[in-house]
Amino acid sequence: MATMIVPNSIAFQLSANSLFFLLLIIFCSSCKTTYAFQGTKSKSFHHILHLNSLLQSAACNSSTQGLHHQKSSLQVVHKHGPCSPLHLDRAKTPPTHAETFFQDEGRVRYIQSRLANKSGSKADVKVTDVANLPAKDGRVVGSGNYIVTVGIGTPKKQLSLIFDTGSDITWTQCEPCLGYCYQQRDAKFDPSVSSTYSNVSCNSVQCSSLLSATGYLPLCSLSTCVYSTQYGDSSFSTGFFAKERLTLTPFDVFDNFLFGCGQNNQGLFGGAAGLLGLGRDQLSLPSQTARKYNKIFSYCLPSSSSSIGFLTLGKCRRYGSKSVKFTPLSTSIQDSSFYGLDITGISVGGKRLSISASVFTTAGAIIDSGTVITRLPLDAYAALRSEFRQRMRRYRMGRELSILDTCYDFSKYKSVNIPKISFFFRGGVKLTIPLVGTLYVANVSQVCLAFAANSDASDIAIFGNTQQKTLQVIYDGAGGRVGFGTKGCY
């Protein structure tokens, strides 16, 4: 019997009949189902919010899927909404607002620590106090809010995966779960019944590429490459690194797709079968399918959990449209996974805020599909909050909601005027945030400005998924740019 020594003085034993895998724990994020803002109108520099639109539908409105849906598209649904296949599992309850923001803080701290790169290695990220929130075997939100369904193997096995622009490796839980598997809605993938499955060898170039994609050196088990990946909470996945047939749509099938066949997985993945990595590393989905899609994809996150959005691979119909404005990817972000943005300014109600350019350039910014609330440098957020409060002074303030400190009680109103917030990006791009991306609604007496401040000027800003709702966001990896189009879905 041989003994393998791993970090933190944890020893694992390997025998001829069994394999035990490295247990890795770190942090991730979560999100809460939000309210629909149906029937709202915009006028001048304000949105008009009708309070009866805050009622959340309990049924899936399948007619709300993206206006630009095409053959190379997948449906995007909120993990806890009525459109999600995971919604059918009544044993899993959605997270509370407190859990949402607690988990979101975990992801933000993980990303900011990783991008700070103080030690020169992603693997040296420190554990934060979010670790005190116990894992619930996948019953709470994991490293993203939104899922897509793809096919893996031959015959094809349909699996619901979280998609994440801040992760690279795609993985799913696999039988026989030699370590541990959390509870998921779909039946776990069984590689033994697939005719196209094969393990990647330890001495292959593909195995060596895991370091840049995950931040961790691959392990080796009986000549088979073993991957390990961690997220911004107590979530992790470890297992065999393998090749398999990936079916995205009937028109988009890829053989020898590199993915993780998870044998030891724990964490907050909300019942999803795993994760679809949309980052920029060579092991991500956009990179592995670059010959067909040229590293181009787009998505639209629906306005509410009862609506449907889309994820499109390759050029979408609006790709060359004048209605889509592109900004160059930031060159200040050195991490190979994230998509960097250069923010140049913010306006509220048509007024450009007086914020020094150095406030945004000190740490830079990224766009992330897995972070719920946009995080801004302290000085930028202070200016935004001050101007927003000034323009909302006629309305009664409500109780703060966790990290959200600017909330209102609209219980006595039928409609209210909300000042429009616009972001400016390098290249002269102006993006007006939709109303659904401006506010986070706990209830009618606690409607909050959906932005938060970083604690340190050196912390990177993050453009989160709440602010991306209903926008068509286009990632052009080959062209080195990100585009924004309005009214991508509802």
Q: What is the phi/psi pair of residue 473, to 5°? A: -105, 120
Residue 103 to residues 107, 135, 292, Cα–Cα distance (Å): 7, 11, 36
- The 8-class DSSP code of residue 144 comes to B
Annotation marks residue 368 as catalytic: yes
Residue of 164, 281, 459, 476 with catalytic role? 164
Annotation marks residue 281 as catalytic: no
Q: Which amino acid is at 335?
A: D
d(CA 284, CA 269): 19
d(CA 220, CA 214): 16
Q: What is the phi/psi pair of residue 235, to 5°? A: -105, 140
Residue of 368, 379, 459, 476 with catalytic role? 368
Q: Structure tokens of 392?
A: 């909302």
Q: Structure tokens of 242?
A: 């393998």
Bridge partners for 446 per DSSP: 443
Residues 6 or more apart in contact with residue 262 via CB below 8 angstroms: 171, 172, 173, 174, 181, 237, 238, 239, 274
* Three-state DSSP class for residue 112: helix
DSSP secondary structure letters along 323-343: TEEEEEPPSS---SS-EEE-E
Residue 46 burial (10 A CB sphere; 0-12, 13-18, 19+): middle
Q: Are 438 and 454 in contact (CB under 8 A)?
A: no
- Active-site residues, by number, are 164, 368
